Amino acid sequence: MKLHTRILFALANCSLSIAAGLWSLDSSCEKWSDQIKVGVHEALDLATNAWQVMEDHANEDQVKAMSKLLLTNRAGDNYESNFNAAKATFANLKAITREPGNFAARSDMRNTIFYCDDARFDKAYLGGPDWRETIRDFLVLEKNTATLKNCYDIGQKKTDLTKMTTKVPKHFDEAGWRAALQKDRTTKRAGFEAATDYSCSIDVCPWFIEKFAAQGFPKIDKDRIEWALELQNTGAELPPNTGALKNYPKRYFDFMKTFTSTVLHELTHTTQGGELVDYSQPLCYDWDCCVSIKQPTNSDTISILAMVLKMWTLGYYVDRDGDIYKLAES
């Protein structure tokens, strides 16, 4: 084969391997494997639908209105770049292989393994407050250990429980970062992180999966929308937000959230999903916070955008206040 053909062939292979992230279920998820698979499939479908709507219907009134609510500052001057950033995230997510794959925990950061228990952690590591993950040989710092306890060992706490939690397996040069901090207090951690060949992980908290099992794992479909609309039309009481989120009231749209919307949220935290973050103070979840901060790099913003674009596909839209409306039939 001619040299330039060979190069093109190599490039084509390379771009294929960059595009696809694999996922798998750890044996700890056996009891829920069917449901998690359905959840991942629906999450990938939501990402695919969102990308397609943004590709084909970006100028439809309600698509534009909802995208602007979630992505654009008051002046509207960052609409295009934020819209494209969100669309790129959906492109990365829809590239994830649909069926579970076979790969080792030590393979590639673009891969993700779902876990459903805490058996892989050394919980008495050096007798300190930190856990150590034995499979990927990571120290889980105290703050993240608390998140895992809040997922698996929920006897200690009854509210604001962790639903799922994602770990990107970067190596962090803490000593180097601390030394740099001495010279410059504004030094960012990101400059001291390095890629590894471990997979990302998503811990699925048992209490959360059981909650949705009791509801029969509702999908983000017409039935779910009509159910939320019924709550809205009858003026059902919205649960108060507590803690740091108390300035962001719950909205009727928030009833739309499901097991799958959280799977999608977590997938945006993975390397394949672009390593998006939860904007903090408060952690920015749900409608009211996401339309306030308008950030395409906030995980819940992307999950919510996928949900409302699915609702648009089904003939509905959501306004600034998180109220749901049926689109007029023409």
**Binding residues for Zn ion (CB under 5 A):** 278, 299
Nearest approach in angstroms of CB 278 to Zn ion is: 4
**Residue of minimal Cβ distance to Zn ion:** 278
Among the listed residues 202, 181, 49, 12, the one whose alpha carbon sits nearest the alpha carbon of residue 116: 202
CA dist., res. 261 & res. 267, Å (int): 10
Nearest approach in angstroms of CB 147 to Zn ion is: 10
Nearest approach in angstroms of CB 180 to Zn ion is: 27
- The residue (of 130 and 278) whose beta carbon lies closer to Zn ion is 278
CA dist., res. 294 & res. 279, Å (int): 11
Among the listed residues 276, 303, 272, 322, the one whose alpha carbon sits nearest the alpha carbon of residue 95: 272
Cβ pair 168, 271 in contact under 8 A: yes
Among the listed residues 271, 295, 302, the one whose alpha carbon sits nearest the alpha carbon of residue 54: 302
Among the listed residues 43, 27, 25, 21, the one whose alpha carbon sits nearest the alpha carbon of residue 202: 25
Nearest approach in angstroms of CB 266 to Zn ion is: 7
Q: In DSSP terms, which residues pair with 200 in a beta bridge?
A: 112
- The residue (of 45 and 266) whose beta carbon lies closer to Zn ion is 266
- The residue (of 62 and 299) whose beta carbon lies closer to Zn ion is 299
- The residue (of 21 and 273) whose beta carbon lies closer to Zn ion is 273
Nearest approach in angstroms of CB 184 to Zn ion is: 29
Helical spans, DSSP H, in 20-141:
33-56, 61-71, 79-94
- The residue (of 117 and 278) whose beta carbon lies closer to Zn ion is 278
